[in-house]
């Protein structure tokens, strides 16, 4: 069993063209994940001189390449709860931003001819307890009543059993606009598209310090390979652990890096895989500590979840893999003896309200905090922030939001075990 991401291990690595680090650019983007790569492509298309500065040796090797492979619409939190806090109009706009985000991914895959097994078969949110069905039914009805999403549909236990070969589920809520793709191949295609349009990508180039030049947006960025002066800077770092807290301290006090862990089976064969998940959708269970799963194009099962509330590391990934092995066997007993070929963990850049945050502060632009729903929103926000930096403030769907610091959070998230215990007890009492 490899302690490595299936997405990065089974995709060709993007090899950047060799360039000296430019002394001056129009835009410097800190972070080579989906947000940074998408923004670089959009800006380069407009003729801007763009450089992507990625601390790691490979693009999209953090959250963008270490997730479950879902491209889902729908908020990370219940729409009704959000509407109660901020009003129907704003909640509806945020929900629809996720629809737009899936559309953005689909358009880029089509326009740039990215071979990444993109499918749009929908997402099925599964009830593991009978009483959860009432909650799903209320959610679906509210989405329809508010005119937010008329494509949702409730499936009863028999219909779920017809497409999911498990007796564990009491029904589900189908979101028909969701999709899935091979994250590693999408990343390679997105980076290559940006490079074709003139963006430079520099891996192994972590930003250690930034200086603001005057009162505008210009900054001097000090990296491991020299300095770059940029007229604008976009921070697209997520919950990365590269570098110290220094210039990024304000952001990191507002993001909690939470580990999410995933295993991938050996190839099951087309017949067995299609019997297991006949509709080949993305699937997620209803719980605070939940599971999510899907099939790959080569007929493997990708099965993940918050196995432990901890930061990913080789030791933690391996231990979490054993927890997920048990969860997989509970959900699909017929796979109890199937070999696991991959196991890995990744960091979710969780915010206190579990919604993205994007904007500008002290001359720096930023977009992050996708809270486990980032594969589509990160791509979308790269394009949105490129438009914002071009002068269209209305392009940011998350504009005008307060982002207070998380109390007691100044560095490594010491409080994660307590958070995990809280959510475990909450699930048990539900």
Identify the pLDDT of residue 363: 96
Residue listed under structure tokens 């959610």 = 139
The whole-angstrom separation of Cα 189 and Cα 169 is 37
- Asked if the model's pLDDT at residue 420 lies above 50, the reply is no
DSSP 150: T
- Number of helices and strands in the chain (H, E): 12, 18
DSSP 164: B
Print burial letters for 359-370: b (CB count within 10 Å at least 16), e (below 16). bbeebbbbbbbb
Pair of tokens at residue 54: 């990625």
Q: Residue length, the chain?
A: 430
Q: Are 329 and 346 in contact (CB under 8 A)?
A: no
Percent of the chain with pLDDT over 70: 91
* 3-class DSSP assignment, residue 373: coil
Binned at pLDDT 50, 70 and 90, residue 421 comes out as: very low
* 3-class DSSP assignment, residue 30: strand
For 323, phi and psi rounded to 5 degrees?
-65, -40
Q: Cα separations (Å) of 76 from 4, 11, 46, 216, 347?
A: 26, 28, 32, 35, 16
Identify the pLDDT of residue 260: 85
Q: Are 267 and 109 in contact (CB under 8 A)?
A: no
Q: Are 253 and 410 in contact (CB under 8 A)?
A: yes
Print burial letters for 18-33: b (CB count within 10 Å at least 16), e (below 16). eeebbeebbbbbbbbb
- Asked if the model's pLDDT at residue 238 lies above 80, the reply is yes
pLDDT digits (tens, 9 = 90+) for 243-289: 444 557 788 889 888 888 999 999 999 999 999 999 999 999 997 56
pLDDT digits (tens, 9 = 90+) for 55-70: 999 999 999 999 999 9
Binned at pLDDT 50, 70 and 90, residue 341 comes out as: very high
- Asked if the model's pLDDT at residue 10 lies above 80, the reply is yes
What stretches of 277-407 show up as alpha helix (H) in DSSP? 314-331, 374-389
- Asked if the model's pLDDT at residue 78 lies above 60, the reply is yes
Pick the closest to residue 416 from 342, 309, 322, 281 (CA basis): 309
Mean pLDDT of the chain: 92
The whole-angstrom separation of Cα 205 and Cα 242 is 10
Pick the closest to residue 180 from 270, 296, 99 (CA basis): 296
Domain ranges in the chain are 6-420
Binned at pLDDT 50, 70 and 90, residue 141 comes out as: very high
pLDDT digits (tens, 9 = 90+) for 200-223: 999 999 999 999 999 999 999 999
Identify the pLDDT of residue 110: 98
pLDDT digits (tens, 9 = 90+) for 394-412: 999 999 999 998 887 766 6
Q: Looking at domain 6-420, which CATH architecture does it have? A: 3-Layer(bba) Sandwich (3.50)
Binned at pLDDT 50, 70 and 90, residue 242 comes out as: low
The number of C-alpha atoms within 13 Å of 304 and in the hemisphere containing its C-beta is: 25
Identify the pLDDT of residue 249: 78
Identify the pLDDT of residue 179: 98
The whole-angstrom separation of Cα 427 and Cα 306 is 13
Identify the pLDDT of residue 428: 55
Q: How far is CA 68 from the centre of its chain?
A: 9
Q: How far is CA 352 from the centre of its chain?
A: 16
- Going by their DSSP bridges, the two strands 50-53 and 207-212 should be labelled as unpaired
Residue listed under structure tokens 């790691």 = 56
Q: Are 53 and 207 in contact (CB under 8 A)?
A: yes
Identify the pLDDT of residue 251: 84
Cα 349–Cα 243–Cα 381 angle in degrees, nearest 5: 40
């Amino acid at each position: 069993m490899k302690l490595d991401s299936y997405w990065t291990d089974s995709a060709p690595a993007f090899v950047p063209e060799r360039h000296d680090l430019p002394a001056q650019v129009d835009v410097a983007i800190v972070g080579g994940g989906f947000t940074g790569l998408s923004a670089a492509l959009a800006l380069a298309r407009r003729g801007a001189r763009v450089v992507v500065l990625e601390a790691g040796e490979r693009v999209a090797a953090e959250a963008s390449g270490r997730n479950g492979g879902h491209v889902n619409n729908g908020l990370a939190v219940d729409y009704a709860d959000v509407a109660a806090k901020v009003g129907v109009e704003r909640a509806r706009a945020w929900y629809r931003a996720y629809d737009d985000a899936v559309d953005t991914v689909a358009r880029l895959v089509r326009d740039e001819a990215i071979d990444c097994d993109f499918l749009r078969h929908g997402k099925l949110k599964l009830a593991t307890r009978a009483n959860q069905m009432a909650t799903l039914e209320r959610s679906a009805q509210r989405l329809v009543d508010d005119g937010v999403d008329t494509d949702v549909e409730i499936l009863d236990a028999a219909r779920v059993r017809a497409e999911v070969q498990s007796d564990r589920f009491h029904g589900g809520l189908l979101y028909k606009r969701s999709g899935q793709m091979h994250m590693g191949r999408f990343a390679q295609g997105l980076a290559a598209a940006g490079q074709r349009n003139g963006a430079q990508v520099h891996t192994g180039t972590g930003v250690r310090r930034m200086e603001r030049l005057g009162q505008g947006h210009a900054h001097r960025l000090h990296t491991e390979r020299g300095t770059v002066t940029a007229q604008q800077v976009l921070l697209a770092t997520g919950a990365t652990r590269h570098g110290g807290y220094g210039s990024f301290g304000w952001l990191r006090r507002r993001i909690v890096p939470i580990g999410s862990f995933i295993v991938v089976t050996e190839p099951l064969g087309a017949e067995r895989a299609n019997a297991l998940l006949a509709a080949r959708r993305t699937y997620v269970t209803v719980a605070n500590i939940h599971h999510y799963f899907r099939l790959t194009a080569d007929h493997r099962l990708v099965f993940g979840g918050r196995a432990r509330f901890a930061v990913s590391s080789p030791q933690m990934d391996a231990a979490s893999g054993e927890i997920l092995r048990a969860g997989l066997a509970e959900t699909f007993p017929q796979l109890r003896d199937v070999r696991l070929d991959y196991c890995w963990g990744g960091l979710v850049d969780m915010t206190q309200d579990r919604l993205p945050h994007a904007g500008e502060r002290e001359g720096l632009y930023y977009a992050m905090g996708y809270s486990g729903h980032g594969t589509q929103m990160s791509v979308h926000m790269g394009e949105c922030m490129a438009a914002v930096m071009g002068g269209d403030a209305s392009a940011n769907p998350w504009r005008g939001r307060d982002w207070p610091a998380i109390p007691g959070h100044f560095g490594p998230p010491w409080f994660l075990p307590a958070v995990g215990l809280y959510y475990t007890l909450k699930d048990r009492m539900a």
